[in-house]
Amino acid sequence: MKVYIENLTFETIIGILDFERTTPQQVIINISFKYKFNNDLKDFVNYAEVTNLIETLMKEKQYLLIEDAILDIKKELKKAFYIKKIKLKITKPNIMTNCLVSVSNK
């Protein structure tokens, strides 16, 4: 199975600039992942739990770099769920006035 979670949006502290360390900013998370489902509820990956874990990690850890957030979130998701391949993209839509800035692991 492949799950897509698109446009998960919330505010958090992320970044290395002085104002980014004090003022929460909006982030948009897009993620897709694969897992093996064998018609058994024990194999089911609850996407609500996935989104809660992502948001909790971002808010608690207040990453300096998006790249660090991606690596840590991938590691924690693989540890918490039976997830295989993960594609994760984090966007900071308001950091620049003329574009969206994103980082993706693929």
Q: pTM of the predicted model, to two decimals? A: 0.93
**CA 30-31-36 angle, 5° bins:** 160
Mean pLDDT of 52-75: 98
Tell me: pLDDT of 42 over 80.
no
Residue ranges of the domains in the chain? 2-100
Per-residue pLDDT, 44: 82
Classified by CATH at the fold level, domain 2-100 comes out as GTP Cyclohydrolase I, domain 2 (3.30.1130)
Per-residue pLDDT, 17: 93
User: Cβ contacts of residue 49 below 8 Å, gap of 6+?
Assistant: 80, 81
Which tens digits make up the pLDDT trace of 25-36?
999 999 999 988
Tell me: pLDDT of 64 over 90.
yes
Which tens digits make up the pLDDT trace of 76-90?
999 999 888 999 999
- Read off the tokens for 33: 């992942």
User: What distance in Å separates the CA atoms of residue 30 and residue 43, rounded to the nearest whole number?
Assistant: 22
Per-residue pLDDT, 29: 98
**Residue at 73: amino acid letter:** I
Collapsed DSSP state (helix, strand, coil) of residue 57: helix
Collapsed DSSP state (helix, strand, coil) of residue 22: helix
DSSP state of 89: E
Angle between helix axes 66-80 and 47-61 (nearest 10 degrees) is 140
